[in-house]
Structures are given as structure tokens and as C-alpha cells.
Structure 1
Amino acid sequence: MNLRTWKLAKRIGKFLGIALGAIIGAYSVQGFIVQAGLGGGGIGGIALLLFYTLGFPIGIVNFILNIPLFALGWKEVNRIFVAKTFFGIIVYSLALDFFKGIQPLQLNDVFLGALYGGVLGGVGSGIVFRLGGSLGGTDIIAKIIQRRFGWAMGTTMLMINALIILASWAILGPKIALYTLVSMFTFSKTVDVISSGLPAKSVTIISNQSDQLIQRILKELGRGVTFLHGQGGYSSAEKNIIICVVNIAELGHLKRIVKEEDPHSFIIVQTASEVVGEGFAVE
């Protein structure tokens, strides 16, 4: 397979992945959110409110209301993103009406509907985001804000959807509005995990046994390390500093290595919300 064919296959694969994410997102809405009578955020939330009050089809309304935001995305974001988003909106809108009336589970608990709908919807949108597209609505606005200010997309969507929650409160009642908020929070956190990966840990180790620690970290964890030279502020003695990034599952093992080699070492653990590189997320 030559390079040109490989790039074409990779591009087609991304569009198929976006279609899968859009279908999962639509399934979560019709299968759990609508069944539980919950609202939503952004354009999808407006489409749900119009469905509950006037009976308008969710998919068609979602597509029509996304047109102005799609035009905004065309001006503000690169055209590859716009093309992927337009494709995602079409698949998502069609799937929303295709899955109308589906009930994968007989839910008698609104909370479960909010939980399942939020997680599954977040998985679908997260897949689309990770492949460089979106499902329209506030996703486009969140993408623009992320590009300009670096804010997490899930958090941004949660903030700008506050007005839709207030509308749900007035139309659907306070109980449903609160459960909708639970669904949206679950959705946003799932999006962040899928699109950015689980938070890693950046560990700074100050130790007099740095050589032994480096050897064990490389051998037992297979993680690279950065070796720095420092100086103690009180003693003025030279200190060896190790910086290593590990995932959450590896953190306990790293701590055991440090404790075994140097019980008097000093460890600083910080959360790295996203790490791109060998052994971690690669865009």
C-alpha cells in the first residue's frame, strides 16, 4: 500500500469512526434520555423541549437549528473540522429519528436514565471529538473556545448549557431539570476522558539514590525519566531530581519503588490532564 492510499484509508476510517460516534450518541438520546423524559443541553436540549411540547421530530429540528452554528464553524475553524462536523451532524440527525421509540432497557428510575444516557452520549461525542469532528450544537462553540483559550470541551459545554437547564426547569419541572443536570455532568466528564484520555500523573522525585531509581523505573515500568540537577535551599547540598509521567494504575508501583530504594526521598505528585507522546495519547 503506497502512502497516498494509506492516507485515503486513514481518512475514510476517521469518517467511519465519526459515524459510529454519532450513532452511539443518537442511541443514547432515544434509548435513555427520551425514555426517562429528560432534557439536554445546547441545540439537542432545545430539540428535546420542542419534541416534548410540540411533538417535533428531534432529528430534523436538530439539523435545522445547527445550520447557523455550522456557518459559524465554517468561519472560525479549519475546513477539515467543518467537513467532519457536517458529516457528523447528518448521521446524528438521521440516527435520532431512526432510533425513535427504541427502549433497550425498561427504566423505572430516572436517575439510571440520566446516568446511562450521559455516559453513552459522552462516549459517542468523545469519539467524534477525538477524530477531529463534532456533533454540532454547543460542540462547535466549545471547539472554538478550546482552540482559542485551551479550556476543556466538556467543562465549556456544561457552562454554556446553563440557560437550557433553566428552560427545562420551567417546562419539565425542577426534578427533571436536576436529573438532566446529572446527565449533562456525566456526559461532560465522559467526553473529557474519551477525547483527552484519563489524567496521568507527573511525579517529581528528589532523592540521593537517583541512579537506582532510574534503573528500576525503566525496567519495571518502562517509562522514560528526565534527570535534573538541583540544590537544597537550606543545606546548599546538591540534589538529584527525577521527573516521570505515569498513568494512574502505575502510580502505586512507582511509589513502592521509591520507598524501597530511598525511604527519605521527597515525592511530588501532580495531575497531568493530558499527555501526548510515546506511551500516552497520540493525536
Structure 2
Amino acid sequence: MAGNDVEAEKPAHSLFDNLQGLAFGVIMVSFGISLLKAQGLITGQAAGVAFLISYSGGIEFGLVFFVVNLPFYVLAALRIGWGFTLRSLACVASISVLTSLAPRLFSYAHVEPFSGAVVAGLCVGIGSIGLFRHGASGGGVGILAYYIQQRTGFRAGWLQLLLDAVIFTAAAFVLPGWGVLVSMVGALALNLLVAVNHRGDWYIAR
């Protein structure tokens, strides 16, 4: 009963709260992905799958990223709700557009690979947390992780770390060894950030 009382007393997000939180998440994820792309690196989750397809087939990352995420919206619609699904669809579409536009907006004259991978991972991680906390996701695996965390309490970051192991095994056939190693450092930074900081009991507003 006490837990229900506490939950009932939690303040709700306003429309502005949600819009600015989602916009922040989209921008941070897009920036992190553009930094990885500029270095020829990858990350995990659905973005990692999109990177591998993009590098292998020479297809624009933004388009691949949007298509790769489509099947996960079925899960989101059936198990989480249409509000979450539509917000996630809008966020993924926005990330796809921004990452395609990024080369026209930013140029990276020099980026030390390991530093760049860690900064990119942290940007994607904090952006993903922003999306989660405002009822959306920036990718298919994020949708799956969000659903499992909501239902079981198993941390989203730990699940994503396990799934990333599969993606990076496949990356060994596409990227040079140093690229895989550097990318793994960035993905580790991303997932540790999400695993440690994405906790419902640490966040009050709903």
C-alpha cells in the first residue's frame, strides 16, 4: 500500500518536459552515432546492426537504421503501448535524419580513436537514458530492453551488453581488428552508463 501511495504522489511530466527530454535524447544519440561513423567504428544494439549493413553494402546509415528498427515496433505496440511505440518511431526517424545530415553540420579533423569511442558511447548512453525516462526508445534492442526491464527488473544495460557480444562477433568479419577493439571500448562505456544510471527508483517524475 505504501508503495502505491508513493507512486501516486510522483509528479507527472508536462508535455514540454517530455518534448525537451526526447529532443535532448535524439540529439545526443545522433551526435554519438555521427562521431562513431566519422571514425569508421560501430556500436551495439540496432545501431550496430545498421552500421554493419551500411559498411558492408555501402548503404546510407540513416536509412538502414530506420528499416532495421521496424520489426521491433510490433513488440512495442503489442506489449508496451501505442504511446511508447509512436514516440519511439518519431525518435528513430529523427535520429535517422540527423545522422544523415551530420556530415554537413560537423567535421572531425582529428579524433583520438579510444577517446572518440568513449565520448560517443557516453553520448549515445545518456541520450538513450533521456529517451527511456520520457517514455520512448532510440532503437529496436532498446525497445526489447525497456520491455524486459519494466516486466522483470533486469537492467536494460546488462541485457544490451549481452546482445552486443553477438554484434561484435559479427563485426570481426567486417571491420579490422583495431576497429572492433576500439568500438568495444565505446560500447562498454555506453552500456555501463545505462546499466548504472537507468534505475526507476532513482527517478521521481513519471
Q: Give TM-score, length-normalised by structure 1.
A: 0.63
| Pairing 1:166–2:169 present | yes
The question of whether the paired residues in 1 share the 8 Å contact of 2:47 and 2:139 is answered with no
Which runs of structure 2 are paired with 1:39-54 in the superposition (5 Å)?
Answer: 39-54=42-57
Alpha-carbon distance in structure 2 between the residues aligned to 1:163 and 1:192: 18
| Pairing 1:24–2:28 present | yes
Alpha-carbon distance in structure 2 between the residues aligned to 1:27 and 1:77: 27
Which runs of structure 2 are paired with 1:1-283 in the superposition (5 Å)?
Answer: 10-30=14-34, 32-100=35-103, 103=106, 105-196=108-199, 275-276=201-202, 281-283=203-205
1:78 Cα deviation from its structure 2 partner: 2.3
Please, which runs of 5 or more residues in structure 1 have no aligned partner? 1-6, 197-273
1:87 Cα deviation from its structure 2 partner: 1.8
Please, which runs of 5 or more residues in structure 2 have no aligned partner? 1-11
AA paired with 1:144? Y
Higher relative contact order (CA 8 A, sep 6+): 2
The question of whether the paired residues in 1 share the 8 Å contact of 2:22 and 2:131 is answered with yes
AA paired with 2:168? I
The question of whether the paired residues in 1 share the 8 Å contact of 2:45 and 2:139 is answered with no
Structure number with the higher helix fraction is 2
Alpha-carbon distance in structure 2 between the residues aligned to 1:108 and 1:183: 14
Question: In structure 2, the residue corresponding to 1:172 is in which secondary structure?
Answer: coil
AA paired with 1:149? T
Alpha-carbon distance in structure 2 between the residues aligned to 1:173 and 1:148: 38
Alpha-carbon distance in structure 2 between the residues aligned to 1:187 and 1:104: 23
Q: Give TM-score, length-normalised by structure 2.
A: 0.85
AA paired with 1:151? F
User: What fraction of aligned residue pairs are identical, expressed as a percent?
Assistant: 25
Question: In structure 2, the residue corresponding to 1:133 is in which secondary structure?
Answer: coil
Alpha-carbon distance in structure 1 between the residues aligned to 2:189 and 2:108: 19
The question of whether the paired residues in 2 share the 8 Å contact of 1:35 and 1:103 is answered with no
Alpha-carbon distance in structure 1 between the residues aligned to 2:15 and 2:93: 18
Question: In structure 2, the residue corresponding to 1:189 is in which secondary structure?
Answer: helix
The question of whether the paired residues in 2 share the 8 Å contact of 1:152 and 1:192 is answered with yes
Alpha-carbon distance in structure 2 between the residues aligned to 1:104 and 1:154: 30
1:193 Cα deviation from its structure 2 partner: 4.6
1:103 Cα deviation from its structure 2 partner: 4.4
1:72 Cα deviation from its structure 2 partner: 1.6
Alpha-carbon distance in structure 2 between the residues aligned to 1:22 and 1:72: 21
1:219 maps to what in 2? Answer: none
- Over 3 Å counting, the alpha-carbon distance change for 1:101 and 1:186 in structure 2 is farther
Give the aligned CA root-mean-square deviation in angstroms: 2.0
AA paired with 1:37? G
Aligned positions, number: 194
AA paired with 1:122? G
Structure number with the higher strand fraction is 1
